[in-house]
DNA sequence: TAGATTGTTAATCGATTAACAATC
DNA sequence: TAGATTGTTAATCGATTAACAATC
């Protein structure tokens, strides 16, 4: 596989979008697709699509024709690493946590295996259990990935606990700047900031 | 206020983070803050913080001291436009939609005024109403902003309906490339892609 | 005054875009 | 062959970083 370093964050964000489009086309029994085609669909430039694909695609496209859809899917999935199962836990079984537990749009390498909550009334001893059992569970199942859907105040302390237990990747929905040691990756999903950005864009549109 | 055009998307994403930190400090009755300080806290470079602040800040910092926290908050809020109330509707009152309805982390300019669902059993005639009443409601309340928390298949047709009714900003949680006319802004919140990106980063960390 | 920090101007870096020969 | 599209090499663009004089 190609070197990971070569792929920018921006490109990394586009890959899942390509993947989705490609799978869509495969559904319709289409065999090939051109960068022009992809670009039109996703509002990108053909040259950018080609650049991106060149970074992750083992094979190559045919001039005048395009790319083999199946090859592309295989290579992108391979690159993204979505071909190996990952067990994920959720901390905080509030509405957001439950939404993610039941979300069926994730790539099929994602397996949400358990949710934890500090409110015993939310626990059902099946897929939502009491937060005190976190240590035991994470160790036994060797969990590496956790989702934080808890209030900001609790986020850092839970994060510390998770890191101590060997969790290496945290998807954080709490509006907090988590501090983690080297080697642990965090992705902040700042819903408030996201909506604010949208509204700011709108304001700009209106002012035009 | 400064020209909107000058601020990059990347900077725009940082502004809410500054805002949060600043408000935090204000809580503790701290009056000033330096770019060094902000940078350390948010893992940025001081020079970048200064550059960002220069873009939105009317006043200016004092060499050797830093910035007035109150001024900064005022100016950033002003710039982001979070000082004017916005009425927002949610389409799709599933778990995710309900999570957002009850989310209390939004800037206080955001008012979620109604949710709609096509499943009558989810409707309560209070804050969740039947989707058929969309037209009437959006027109009467002059809604400009909508959140889409519905399955991908329904997203485009609902989007079209919203656009026809004059909605100008769409926060889309459905994994779909929405097609909208010029002048309508869309922000895609692709949860699956987001998690995939995190896991890819993790893979890269492991390979190091 | 000495130390800290600002804002300006210039340099660097990385990503996007353009141009085009090669090829199906 | 003509038309479409690829991948390479170079140019452009924009954002981040560095250097530093000015100033509290």
Residues 20-39 of A with CB under 7 A from strand D: 34-37
Q: Report pLDDT digits (tens) over B50-96.
A: 999 999 998 789 999 999 999 999 999 999 988 889 999 999 999 99
Mean per-residue pLDDT over chain A, rounded? 93
Residue B64 to chain A, least CA–CA distance (Å): 26
**What three-state secondary structure class fits B88?**
strand
Residue of B nearest to A208 (CA): B183
User: Can you tell me the distance from the alpha carbon of A159 to that of A97, in angstroms, rounded to the nearest whole number?
Assistant: 16
Q: Give the model's confidence band at A208: pLDDT under 50 very low, under 70 low, under 90 confident, else very high.
A: low
Binary contact (A81, B199; C-beta < 8 A):
yes
Q: What mean pLDDT comes out for the span A174-201?
A: 92
**What three-state secondary structure class fits A177?**
coil
The count of other CB atoms within 10 Å of the CB of residue B41 is 17
Residue B194 to chain A, least CA–CA distance (Å): 8
Residue of B nearest to A111 (CA): B195
Q: Which residue is nearest to nucleotide C3 (CA to C1')?
A: B64
Chain B partners within 8 Å of A169 (Cβ): 198-199, 201-202
Chain A partners within 8 Å of B145 (Cβ): 198-199, 202
Where in A9-94 does DSSP place strands (E)?
32-33, 67-68, 86-91
Q: What mean pLDDT comes out for the span B34-40?
A: 97
- Helices (H) and strands (E) counted in chain A, each on its own, are 8, 8
Q: What mean pLDDT comes out for the span A20-38?
A: 96
Separation in Å, CA B110 to CA B78, B89, B105 = 14, 10, 10
Q: Which residue is nearest to nucleotide D17 (CA to C1')?
A: B47
Q: What mean pLDDT comes out for the span A26-36?
A: 96
Closest CA to A176 of B23, B20, B35: B20
Q: Give the model's confidence band at B9: pLDDT under 50 very low, under 70 low, under 90 confident, else very high.
A: confident
Residues 7-66 of B with CB under 7 A from strand C: 34-37, 46-47, 50-51, 53-54, 57, 60-66
Q: Report pLDDT digits (tens) over A134-180.
A: 999 999 999 999 999 999 899 999 999 999 999 999 999 999 989 99
Q: What mean pLDDT comes out for the span B149-166?
A: 96
Disruptive mutation site among B146, B171, B195 for chain A (greatest number of A CBs within 10 Å): B195
Give the bases of strand D that a protein CB approaches within 7 Å. 3-8, 14-19, 22-24
At residue A4, the pLDDT reads 54
């Amino acid at each position: 596989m190609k070197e990971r370093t070569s792929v920018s964050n921006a490109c990394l964000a586009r890959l899942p979008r390509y993947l989705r489009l490609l799978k869509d086309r495969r559904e319709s029994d289409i065999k090939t697709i051109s960068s022009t085609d992809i670009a039109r669909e996703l509002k990108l430039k053909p040259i950018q699509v080609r650049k991106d694909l060149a970074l992750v695609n083992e094979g190559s496209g045919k001039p005048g024709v395009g790319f083999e859809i199946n090859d592309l899917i295989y290579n992108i999935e391979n690159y993204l690493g979505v071909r190996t199962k990952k067990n994920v836990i959720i901390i905080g079984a509030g509405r957001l946590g439950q939404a993610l537990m039941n979300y069926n749009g994730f790539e099929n390498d994602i397996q949400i295996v358990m949710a934890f909550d500090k409110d015993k009334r939310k626990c059902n001893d099946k897929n939502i259990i009491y937060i005190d059992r976190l240590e035991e569970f994470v160790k036994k199942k060797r969990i590496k990935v956790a989702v934080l859907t808890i209030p900001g105040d609790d986020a850092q302390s839970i994060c510390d606990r998770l890191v101590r237990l060997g969790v290496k990747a945290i998807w954080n929905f709490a509006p907090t700047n988590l501090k983690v040691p080297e080697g642990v990756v965090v992705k902040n999903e700042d819903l408030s900031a996201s909506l604010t950005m949208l509204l700011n864009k709108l304001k700009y549109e209106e002012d035009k």
